[in-house]
């Protein structure tokens, strides 16, 4: 492979937190190995890491566009020392991570408009909505139906492994790019995807790929993009005036996506927000509140169910004419958040959604943590069949490589909690 040396950009953790942004249910193909994130993206293997003040990126390109052979067992990984003259990775990083907006200013704006956001957001700085390829976002969220992050990621990996071009290897791990719609439009794809464990989603993926191919492949999807956030390299143009229901282009894109198989209002809004750049899109689950099992299993497919849960708990929905999630209530929830946060309402709500994810719950407040400590102490006192030391060790284990936790002072808080637990 042709590898470009590591480069750096001055980006603080308050402006971007990779460990939060890349695992909060937006994209499903990133892998973290030894504190470095890797993904096959735009014809290269892109690698990212960061410290408190800088974002570091590296790209590795295949020597040609043909699928590479299986590497020898002694493969050392990437080669190095090639020219950077034809490398557009910096532009890709800026585009994909959506680095142009000043996130500190946006957080201040959203906090001024909403006390609930002001309360929770400080523990979740650096959450950005990615500017993903629209086709990848569409496929990912069709796969998200009644699913969780792990299974969605497995499906996306299978899809790329069997149908996408091989880009290269990180040590011995292969990385693939996304297959285009035309490749998945083959009649044999549906049955093969069922064999791979996609279930009923296999039919949706095949039919949607077929329809998009008939419409002109990915060009049709890109025509639905927010012109203020176009495909990389294209000129920015105005997107129109903001209305209570969103800008006209957003509403047109949403209705167009609903014509595709496996796409309902929720998936359409996910794609509008995370694949087409329409920041005012707010996905809301039409099935209502999360069940206890869903909360505990961290179901990303229920991302928008969490939106409905938050709308009920924090914004007084769920009563009167909005007691159930009808289409009118769906629109009312979106309109409410758009009235609070404007044309980036979906981005602002993604921060609150992240705050509700169980994997990040320990960041919310010391009061919540103290309540959990008391509950755990009672469990340890009453549970005689297990070693309390083992329980303590398991419950205070930190997420490896979570630089954001360390940056915002959460590591020391956890250590203090661990000391209290050891006294039991």
Is 149 or 92 the better-scoring residue by pLDDT? Answer: 92
Chain centroid to CA 399: 18
Sign of CA dihedral 93, 284, 362, 388: negative
d(CA 150, CA 132): 19
Sign of CA dihedral 79, 84, 87, 90: positive
DSSP 319-347: SGGGSS--HHHHHHHHHHHHHHHGGGHHH
Q: How much of the chain is in helix, strand and coil states, percent to nearest 5?
A: 50, 10, 40
d(CA 334, CA 336): 5
- CB-CB contact of 104 with 15 (8 Å): yes
Among the listed residues 303, 302, 381, the one whose alpha carbon sits nearest the alpha carbon of residue 349: 303
d(CA 412, CA 309): 31
Using alpha carbons, list the distances in angstroms from residue 124 to 28, 105, 149, 316.
20, 14, 20, 23
**Which listed residue (120, 229, 266, 303) is catalytic?**
266
User: Does the structure show a pLDDT above 60 at 362?
Assistant: no
Query: What's the pLDDT score for residue 321?
Result: 54
User: Does the structure show a pLDDT above 70 at 232?
Assistant: yes
Query: What's the pLDDT score for residue 413?
Result: 42
Looking at mean pLDDT, say which of 13-22, 327-336, 410-419 comes out highest. 13-22
- CB-CB contact of 368 with 412 (8 Å): no
- Residue 68 has phi, psi (to 5 degrees) of -80, 150
Give the residue-averaged pLDDT of 254-282: 96
User: Does the structure show a pLDDT above 80 at 313?
Assistant: no
* DSSP-based three-state secondary structure for 387: coil
Question: Does 235 participate in catalysis according to the annotation?
Answer: no
- 182-227: pLDDT as tens digits: 999 999 999 999 999 999 999 999 999 999 999 887 889 999 999 9
Among the listed residues 284, 225, 277, 282, the one whose alpha carbon sits nearest the alpha carbon of residue 256: 225
User: Does the structure show a pLDDT above 60 at 150?
Assistant: yes
Tell me the β-bridge partners of 7.
Answer: 57
Query: What's the pLDDT score for residue 121?
Result: 84
- CB-CB contact of 55 with 61 (8 Å): no
For strand 36-41 and strand 173-176, is the pairing parallel, antiparallel, or unpaired? unpaired
Kindly indicate the confidence band of residue 230, based on its pLDDT and cuts at 50, 70 and 90.
Answer: very high
Which residue carries 């495909």 as its tokens? 231
Among the listed residues 345, 382, 384, 366, the one whose alpha carbon sits nearest the alpha carbon of residue 420: 366
Radius of gyration of the chain (CA): 22
**Biggest distance spanned by C-alpha atoms of the chain:** 66
Kindly indicate the confidence band of residue 398, based on its pLDDT and cuts at 50, 70 and 90.
Answer: very low
Using alpha carbons, list the distances in angstroms from residue 372 to 26, 124, 368.
29, 20, 6
d(CA 55, CA 18): 9
Mean pLDDT taken over the chain? 78
Give the residue-averaged pLDDT of 246-256: 97
Token reading at 52: 């408190």
* DSSP-based three-state secondary structure for 144: coil
- Element spanning 69, H or E: none
Give the residue-averaged pLDDT of 358-380: 42
For strand 44-50 and strand 173-176, is the pairing parallel, antiparallel, or unpaired? unpaired
d(CA 318, CA 305): 13
* DSSP-based three-state secondary structure for 63: coil
Which residue carries 């892109």 as its tokens? 46
Give the residue-averaged pLDDT of 153-164: 97
Query: Which positions ≥6 away from 408 have C-beta within 8 Å?
Result: 13, 122, 123, 125, 363
Kindly indicate the confidence band of residue 15, based on its pLDDT and cuts at 50, 70 and 90.
Answer: very high
Query: What's the pLDDT score for residue 312?
Result: 59
* DSSP-based three-state secondary structure for 248: helix
Predicted TM-score of the model (pTM): 0.78
Token reading at 129: 């909505």
Give the residue-averaged pLDDT of 389-407: 40
d(CA 114, CA 345): 12
d(CA 66, CA 85): 22
d(CA 44, CA 55): 18
d(CA 265, CA 257): 9
Kindly indicate the confidence band of residue 316, based on its pLDDT and cuts at 50, 70 and 90.
Answer: low
Kindly indicate the confidence band of residue 356, based on its pLDDT and cuts at 50, 70 and 90.
Answer: low
Give the residue-averaged pLDDT of 356-365: 53
Looking at mean pLDDT, say which of 8-17, 276-285, 399-408 comes out highest. 8-17
Among the listed residues 131, 29, 46, the one whose alpha carbon sits nearest the alpha carbon of residue 87: 46
């Amino acid at each position: 492979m042709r590898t470009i040396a590591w480069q750096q950009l001055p980006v603080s953790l308050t402006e971007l937190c990779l460990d939060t942004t890349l695992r909060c249910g937006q994209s499903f193909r990133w892998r973290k190995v030894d504190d470095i994130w890797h993904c096959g993206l735009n014809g290269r293997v892109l690698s990212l890491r960061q410290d408190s003040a800088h974002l570091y990126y590296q790209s590795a390109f295949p020597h040609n566009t043909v699928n590479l052979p299986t590497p020898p067992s002694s493969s050392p990984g990437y080669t190095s020392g090639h020219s950077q003259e034809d490398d557009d990775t910096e532009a890709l990083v800026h585009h994909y991570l959506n680095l142009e907006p000043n996130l500190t200013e946006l957080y201040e704006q959203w906090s001024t408009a909403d006390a609930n956001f002001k309360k929770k957001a400080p523990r979740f700085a650096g959450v950005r909505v990615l500017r993903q390829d629209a086709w990848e976002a569409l496929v990912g969220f069709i796969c998200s139906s009644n699913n969780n992050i792990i299974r969605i990621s497995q499906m996306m990996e299978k899809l790329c492994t069997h149908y996408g071009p091989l880009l290269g290897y990180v040590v011995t791990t292969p990385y693939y790019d996304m297959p285009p719609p035309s490749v998945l439009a083959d009649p044999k794809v549906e049955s093969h995807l069922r064999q791979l464990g996609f279930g009923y989603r296999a039919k949706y993926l095949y039919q949607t790929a077929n329809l998009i191919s008939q419409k002109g492949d990915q060009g049709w999807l890109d025509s639905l993009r927010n012109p203020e956030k176009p495909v990389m390299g294209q000129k920015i143009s105005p997107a129109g005036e903001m209305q209570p229901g969103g800008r006209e282009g957003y509403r047109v894109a949403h209705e167009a996506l609903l014509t595709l198989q496996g796409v309902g209002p929720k998936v359409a809004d996910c794609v509008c927000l995370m694949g087409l750049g329409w920041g005012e899109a707010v996905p809301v689950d039409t099935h209502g509140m999360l069940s206890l099992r869903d909360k505990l299993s961290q179901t990303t497919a229920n991302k928008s169910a969490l939106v409905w849960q938050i709308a009920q708990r924090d914004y007084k929905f769920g009563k009167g004419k909005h007691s159930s999630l009808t289409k009118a209530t769906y629109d009312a929830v979106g309109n409410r958040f758009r009235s609070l946060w404007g044309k980036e309402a979906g981005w602002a709500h993604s921060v609150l959604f992240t705050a509700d994810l169980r994997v990040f719950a320990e960041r919310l407040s010391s009061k919540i943590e103290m309540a959990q400590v008391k509950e755990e102490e009672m469990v340890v006192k009453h549970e005689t069949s297990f070693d309390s030391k083992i329980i303590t060790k398991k419950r205070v284990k930190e997420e490896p490589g979570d630089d954001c936790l360390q940056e915002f002072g959460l590591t020391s808080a956890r250590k203090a909690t661990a000391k209290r637990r050891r006294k039991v």
